Structure 1
Amino acid sequence: MRSEFFIPENLDLEDLQSALQKNTRTLAEPSRTVYRTYFDSFDWRLYLDNSLLEDTRDGNDHTLVWRTLKGENRCPRLKLSAAPRFASDLPQGPFRQRLEPVLEMRELIQKFRIRSSIDTLRILNKDEKTVAYLVTEKNTLQRQQGVRSGKLADRAIIIPVRGFPKPCKELAKFLQQQGLTPAQDDLMLATLATIGEIPGSYSSKLNLKLDPAMRADLATKGILHRLLDIMEQNEDGTRTGTDTEFLHDYRVAIRRTRSALSQIKAVFPKQIVDRYKTEFAWLGQITSPSRDLDVYLLGFDKYRDSLPADMQADIEPLRDFLIRHQKLENKALVKALGSARYRRLIKNWHTFLEQPVNERSTLKNAGRPILEVACKRIWRIYRLTIQEGTAINAESPADDLHELRKTCKKLRYLMEFFQSLFPAEKIKALIRTLKTLQDNLGDFQDYEVQVTTLKKFSHQMVAEGKVSPDTLLAMGMLIDGLERRQHQARHEFAARFNNFAMKENRSHFRKLFTGCADDTQEVSP
C-alpha cells in the first residue's frame, strides 16, 4: 500500500535525495509537470464509496485513476483523449463496468485542479531491480470558480512494488528520520479541507433531530426549512439540466413540502396553508414535463433492449424526439425559475419559515408536542392504508390502487418527517415494509402512465412528420410489453399488501404510534 509524507518547508528536496543516495541505489526518472483534476458527483457518490477519481493530464494525454482513499487502485489506469463527464462516456471495459453502478446517472463535477511538479526515484536492489518508488511532489492549487490558487504542502510518496515489502519499510523509516511526517489524508481530502469543502456534506435526506417535546408548529417549520435548503442546493443544477438528479431531488423536496403542508394539520393558519399549497402545486406542475422526459431518456436503453434485436434500431427516432422535446421543456423550466412569481415564492417562503411562531396560537395542534401530533397522524393514515388496501379485490378498478398508492406516499412521508422521534431500528424496519408495497403500486402506476404517454408521443411524432412505420411498430411493441408488466404488477399486489398488513406488522405499528396518540382504534384484519 502506498504511503504519503509531508515534506517540511525548510527541507530542500535535492538535499533529501542526496541523503538517500548515500546508502541506497537509485535511478532518477525525468522530471515532469502534470495537471490533476479531482472529480466526484454533486452528492459525493465516489467519496461515499471510499474512493476518488483523478484525471491526470500530461501534455495532451489524459490518464484516469480510480483508487480508494487509502491509495489502492480500483481499476487499472485508463488512457483517454479527454476527461469524461459521465461514466457512460468511458469506453466499454472493466473501468466503466465498475464505475457505472457507483455513479449511475450522475455527472462528474470538477472539485478542484492541482499543478504538480513531480520527481521520481526508482529504488534499486543490488541486482539493479526496482523494488520501490519514491515520488516527490510540489503541488499548487489552481484557481477556479469559488477556489483561490495557492501553495499546497509538498509531499513524498512511497509506492511499493509487489513482492518487496522491506524496502518500503526502510524508506519510510528514513523519511521520518529526515523530519518528514506521515500524511493522514490523501491529497484530495487535504485539499478539500484547505478550500473549506466538506466531502459527503450534501444529502437529499431530511437528517433532522426533533425534540419530542418541541411545539408542533416549530418542528414543522424545521422540516419545511430543511426541504427548502434541499431545493435551493439543487436549483442551479436544475437550471443547467445536464445532470437529471438535480431536478429529481428538487421535485422530491417540492412533493414533501406539499405533503407536509397537507398532512401536518392545524399548526399554521388556513390562509397560509392554502396559499403555499397553491404555489408549490404550481412549482410541481412547471417542473413535471422536463422530469418526465428525463425519466424516459434514462430508461431508453431498457426500452430498446426489450425489443427483438432486429427492431432495436427502429426505436432510435424516439430517442431523438425525447432529446429534442427535453431541451424545449428545460428552456421553459429555466424561464419559469427566473420568473417574478418564483422569486417571490422563495422570498416569501423564507420569510414565513424564519418568523417566530405565535406563542399563544389558537390553532389546535400548534402548541402541542410534536410527538403527540406525529403519532396521531401516522396512526390515522396507517389505518386508512389498511382499510383501502383490504377493500381491493380482483375486480377493483385501477383507480382504487392509485388512491392506495397516494395514501401510502402520505404515510411514507409522515414516517420520514418524524423518523427521529422513534427508535431508529424500529421505524426503519416499518418504512422498508411499506416501501415494498409502494414499489408494487408505483410500478403499476408507472406502467399505466408510460403506456398512455408513449401513445401520446407516437401521435406527436406523426404530427411532426418525423416517424417511420417501423418506428411506430416498435413503439407498439413497447406498449404491449408495458401492458404485460402492468398486469404482472397487478397480479402481485395481493401478496405484497397481505405481507404489509400481516398481524405482526400491525402490532409493530400499534406499539410504535399509539403510545402517545389518543386515537387507538383497532385496525381491521
Structure 2
Amino acid sequence: AGERTEPLREAEIELIEGDRRGLFDIAHLLFPDGGLRFSRLSKSARGFLLAERGWIDPPLAPRNAQTVPLDPNETAELAARDILRECFDQVATNMVVMQRLDDPEGPHQLRVGLRRLRSAFSVFAPVLKSPEMTRLQDEARWLGHVVGGLRDLDVVTNDIIRREAETHPDQPGLAALDAPLRQHADAVRKEVAETLTGARAQAFVLDLTRFVETRGWILPADFDQSRRLATPIARLAETALAAHWKKAGKCARRIEKLTVEQRHDLRKELKKLRYAVDFLSPLYSRKAIDPFRKRLRKIQNVLGALNDSVIVAATLESTDLDAIDDRQVQRAIGWVIGASQARAEGCWEEAKARWRDLEESPQFWKKAG
C-alpha cells in the first residue's frame, strides 16, 4: 500500500480440529465485557482496500434488509440458515452503527433487524423447535425494547413535531418543544450505546451466530428432527404464510368494533405477515405476489399513522417535560397529542377499507385448484 498505513486490532480464532462451537466458547472467555465487532474481511483484503481506496474498512452506514435467494427445492433448514445469516448481518452491523454514528436510521434499522429476526424464528419454528432459539428470541425482544425507546423519540422529534411545527408556524411552542426532546434523546442515545457495547448484548450476537453457524437447533434426543429439517422450503412457506394470514384475520374479526389495543394487535400481526412475505417472496413469481404485497404495504402505511398516536402520547407523557415552566411548551405538548389522535381516527376509517382490499387479494401461497 505504499506509504499508506492504518491501525488494525484484530483477534482471529482458528479451528485446527474439533467442534466449531469451541470457537465461540473461547470468544466468550477472551472477551467477556463486550465491545467486539465482527468482520468478514481478511487481512489481505484489507491491504488491497488500503492500497486501492485508502481505507481498511468500508464506510460505516446503516444497513437495510436484503432479499435472500431461495430455491423451492432446497430444504427448510438451508433456507433458515441463509435467512438467519441475513438477519444477523443486519442486527450486528446496525449495533456498531449505533455505537459510532449519530444517525437516526441506525436505531430504526436495528429495530427492524431484531423484528425480522424474531419473525424468522417464528416462520421456522415448526422445523427447528429449539429451546436455544426461544432463548435468543427473548434476548432479541429485550434488545428491541432497549432500542425501541430511542427510535420512538427520534420519530416524535424528527418527524411528528417537526411536521406540526412546519404546518403550524403560528404555534411557537412547537419549536420550543424541540430542544428539550433532543436533549433527552441524546441522553437516551448514550445509554443505549453503552448497552450495545455491554456484555449481555455481545453475548447475544455471539450466541446468535453460533446458533446459525453450528446448527445450534440440533437436538440429539429429537428423533423426528431430521425429517422436519428436510422439509422442502416451498411446503413450509405455504404453511407459514397461511398461519400468519389466519392470525391477522383473527385480529381483524369484527374490525368495526376494535379497541385501540386490538388495532395495535392487528398492526403487529400484519407486520409479522409482511416480514414472512418478504422472506419467502423469492419462491413465487412477481405476478403472483405483487398484488397481495402492494395491498399489504398500503394498510401497513395507514396503520403506521395509528401507531404514531400511541408513540406520541407515550413519549411525551413519559419524558420529563411537565417540569418545564413554559406555557407555550405545555400547550404544544397537548397540541401534538391531540393532533396525532385526530389523525389516527381519520386513518382508521381508511385502514378498514384497506383491510377489505387485502381480504379480496388472491392468496398467492395457495396452490391452484
Partner of 1:373: 236
Deviation at 1:422, TM superposition (A): 0.9
TM-score, L = length of structure 2: 0.78
Partner of 1:57: none
The answer to whether residue 187 in structure 2 is matched with residue 338 in structure 1 is no
Residue deviations 1:457-497, cap 9 Å, x none?
4xx2233xx33012111221222211210110122222111
Counterpart mapping for 1:279-318 below 5 A: 279-299=139-159, 300-307=161-168, 309-311=169-171, 313-318=172-177
TM-aligned CA distance change 1:447 to 1:331, over 3 Å: same
Contact 2:62 2:109 in 1 (8 A): no
Counterpart mapping for 1:5-154 below 5 A: 148=50
Deviation at 1:336, TM superposition (A): 0.9
Partner of 1:320: 179
The answer to whether residue 118 in structure 2 is matched with residue 266 in structure 1 is no
1:353 to 203, 208, 212: 212
Contact 2:74 2:232 in 1 (8 A): yes
TM-aligned CA distance change 1:146 to 1:470, over 3 Å: farther
Partner of 2:31: none
Contact 2:62 2:105 in 1 (8 A): no
Deviation at 1:374, TM superposition (A): 0.8
1:384 to 247, 256, 262: 247
- The CA distance in 2 between the partners of 1:476 and 1:198, in whole Å, is 45
- The CA distance in 2 between the partners of 1:323 and 1:295, in whole Å, is 11
Higher strand share: 1
- The CA distance in 2 between the partners of 1:198 and 1:310, in whole Å, is 45
Counterpart mapping for 1:471-510 below 5 A: 471-502=329-360, 505=361, 508-509=362-363
1:277 to 123, 127, 137: 137
Residue deviations 1:125-167, cap 9 Å, x none?
xxxxxxxxxxxxxxxxxxxx9964x6xxxxxxxxxxxxxxxxx
Partner of 1:129: none
- The CA distance in 2 between the partners of 1:323 and 1:419, in whole Å, is 39
Partner of 1:432: 294
Partner of 1:448: 310
- The CA distance in 1 between the partners of 2:62 and 2:261, in whole Å, is 37
3-state DSSP class of the match of 1:267?
A: helix
Contact 2:152 2:315 in 1 (8 A): no
Contact 1:265 1:365 in 2 (8 A): no
- The CA distance in 2 between the partners of 1:244 and 1:334, in whole Å, is 13
TM-score, L = length of structure 1: 0.56
Contact 1:376 1:514 in 2 (8 A): no
Q: Which amino acid aligns with 1:494?
A: K
| % identity of equivalent residues | 23
- The CA distance in 2 between the partners of 1:409 and 1:452, in whole Å, is 21
Higher helix share: 2
Partner of 1:403: 265
Q: Which amino acid aligns with 2:109?
A: D
- The CA distance in 2 between the partners of 1:477 and 1:487, in whole Å, is 16
Residue range with higher mean Cα deviation, 415-424 or 356-365: 356-365
Contact 2:65 2:86 in 1 (8 A): no
Residue deviations 1:378-409, cap 9 Å, x none?
0222233234324211x331222222111111
- The CA distance in 2 between the partners of 1:203 and 1:456, in whole Å, is 30
Partner of 2:367: 515
TM-aligned CA distance change 1:202 to 1:316, over 3 Å: closer
TM-aligned CA distance change 1:202 to 1:427, over 3 Å: farther
Deviation at 1:228, TM superposition (A): 0.8
Residue deviations 1:208-235, cap 9 Å, x none?
1112122212211210111111222223
Q: Which amino acid aligns with 2:145?
A: Q
3-state DSSP class of the match of 2:128?
A: coil
- The CA distance in 2 between the partners of 1:483 and 1:348, in whole Å, is 41
- The CA distance in 1 between the partners of 2:67 and 2:351, in whole Å, is 32
Q: Which amino acid aligns with 1:474?
A: A
Partner of 1:221: 81
Residue deviations 1:81-127, cap 9 Å, x none?
xxxxxxxxxxxxxxxxxxxxxxxxxxxxxxxxxxxxxxxxxxxxxxx
3-state DSSP class of the match of 1:461?
A: coil
Q: Which runs of 5+ in 2 are unaligned?
A: 1-46
Deviation at 1:195, TM superposition (A): 7.1
Residue deviations 1:184-220, cap 9 Å, x none?
xxxxxxx76x979999x99623321112122212211
Contact 1:365 1:373 in 2 (8 A): no
- The CA distance in 2 between the partners of 1:429 and 1:203, in whole Å, is 27
3-state DSSP class of the match of 1:213?
A: coil
Work out the number of aligned pairs and report it. 317
Q: Which has the higher contact order (CA 8 A, sep 6+)?
A: 2
- The CA distance in 2 between the partners of 1:197 and 1:287, in whole Å, is 25
Residue deviations 1:323-372, cap 9 Å, x none?
11111111111111121112221112111111147598623732211110
Q: Which amino acid aligns with 1:396?
A: L
Partner of 2:90: 230
TM-aligned CA distance change 1:422 to 1:437, over 3 Å: same
TM-aligned CA distance change 1:471 to 1:433, over 3 Å: same
Q: RMSD in angstroms over aligned alpha carbons?
A: 2.8
Deviation at 1:310, TM superposition (A): 3.0
